[in-house]
């Protein structure tokens, strides 16, 4: 399913896409394309093939669930998609740009400005308040203070977390922490949200809230790729991709 980007999306704090020198995205219907992506982890004694040659595409506006048994390579795949790790082999196009061709600075800008991450363990910074945690990605992008304040307030309202703005992560429930983590992931208005078992540490009610938020973001045009072990969560997606031993074994349209 392809949805149009929301018309309310604010101007990107990034340099213009042309400025990145890579002609990102306009009119491109494919958000992610992977060609023969391999990842081998090597230590002195062992070599682990985490991904054995992944070919896949995710269209702009899709909501894809990645499933498969523990150790099959799901997090490795997500880290590569999120530019947190490099493949050993293969090519990856993000919104029409082959990321292997990006210089380090462009790669960092792309990661910070276009991709939002949500992790199972929330990964908030303990020493920062809710508000400061959410503000951080905007600081990294050099967004001016007044605009940061406005955007942080808007997203806190949306994630129903405004009443905890001055709290620290340890003072929040798991569900609240994950809402803050989602706020932090989407405050930059990324095109792509990557979520690695976002409900793995939550009870059913909080898990459902998180899934509802991801569904809303997707309905507004954000592409979502989510790793999950839960059939219930996968049912929110429009397609599942099943991995086994580092290979795609099945695509299922939901």
Ligand X SMILES: Nc1ncnc2c1ncn2[C@@H]1O[C@H](COP(=O)(O)OP(=O)(O)OP(=O)(O)O)[C@@H](O)[C@H]1O
Per CB under 6 A, contacts with ligand X among 197-236 are none
70 binds, among ligand X, Mg ion, none (CB under 5 to 8 A by kind): ligand X
Strands 30-42 and 47-59, by their bridges, are antiparallel
Binding string, 56-85, against Mg ion, x = CB under 5 A?
Answer: -------------------x----------
Closest approach, Cβ 17 to Mg ion, in A, equals: 32
Binding residues with Mg ion: total (CB under 5 A) = 1
What does the alpha-carbon distance between residue 242 and residue 217 come to, in Å, rounded to a whole number?
Answer: 23
Residues whose CB is less than 8 angstroms from the CB of residue 32 and which lie 6 or more positions away in sequence, other chains included: 56, 57, 58, 81, 92, 93, 94, 192, 223, 225
Closest approach, Cβ 4 to ligand X, in A, equals: 32
73 binds, among ligand X, Mg ion, none (CB under 5 to 8 A by kind): ligand X
For Mg ion, which is the closer residue by CB, 196 or 209?
A: 196
100 binds, among Mg ion, ligand X, none (CB under 5 to 8 A by kind): none
Q: How many CA atoms lie within 13 A of 36 on its CB side?
A: 2
Closest approach, Cβ 147 to Mg ion, in A, equals: 35
Strand spans (E) along the chain: 30-42, 47-59, 63-67, 89-94, 97-98, 115-119, 192-196, 223-227, 239-244, 247-253
**Exposure pattern of 193-220 as b/e (b: 16+ CB <10 Å)?**
bbbbbbbbbbeeebbbbbbebbeebbeb
For ligand X, which is the closer residue by CB, 176 or 228?
A: 228
For Mg ion, which is the closer residue by CB, 71 or 144?
A: 71
Question: Which phi and psi (to 5°) does residue 2 adopt?
Answer: -115, 125
Contact between 218 and Mg ion per CB under 5 A? no
For ligand X, which is the closer residue by CB, 37 or 155?
A: 37
**Exposure pattern of 95-128 as b/e (b: 16+ CB <10 Å)?**
bbbebeebeeebbebbbbbbbbbbbbebebeeee
For ligand X, which is the closer residue by CB, 80 or 143?
A: 80
For ligand X, which is the closer residue by CB, 16 or 70?
A: 70
Binding string, 37-76, against ligand X, x = CB under 6 A?
Answer: ----x------x-x-------------------xxxxxxx
Residues that bind Mg ion (CB under 5 A): 75
Residues that bind ligand X (CB under 6 A): 41, 48, 50, 70-76
């Amino acid at each position: 399913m392809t949805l149009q980007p929301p018309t309310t999306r604010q101007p990107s704090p990034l340099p213009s896409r042309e400025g990145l020198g890579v002609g990102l995205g306009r009119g491109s219907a494919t958000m992610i394309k992977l060609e023969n992506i391999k990842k081998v982890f090597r230590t002195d004694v062992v070599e682990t093939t985490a991904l054995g040659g992944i070919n896949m595409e995710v269209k702009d506006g899709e909501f894809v669930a990645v499933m498969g048994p523990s150790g099959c390579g799901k997090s490795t795949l997500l880290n590569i998609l999120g530019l947190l790790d490099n493949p050993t082999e293969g090519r990856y196009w993000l919104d029409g740009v082959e990321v292997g061709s990006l210089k380090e600075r462009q790669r960092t800008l792309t990661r910070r400005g276009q991709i939002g991450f949500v992790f199972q363990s929330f990964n908030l910074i303990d020493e920062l308040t809710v508000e400061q945690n959410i503000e951080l990605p905007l600081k990294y992008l050099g967004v001016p203070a007044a605009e940061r304040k406005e955007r942080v307030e808007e997203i806190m309202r949306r994630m129903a977390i405004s009443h905890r703005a001055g709290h620290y992560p340890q003072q929040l429930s798991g569900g609240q922490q994950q809402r803050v983590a989602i706020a932090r992931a989407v405050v930059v208005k990324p095109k792509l949200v990557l979520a690695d078992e976002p409900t793995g540490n939550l009870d059913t009610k909080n898990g459902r809230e998180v899934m509802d938020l991801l569904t809303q973001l997707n309905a507004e045009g954000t592409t979502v790729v989510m790793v999950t072990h839960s059939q219930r969560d996968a049912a929110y997606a429009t397609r599942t991709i099943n991995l086994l031993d580092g290979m795609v074994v099945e695509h299922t349209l939901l």
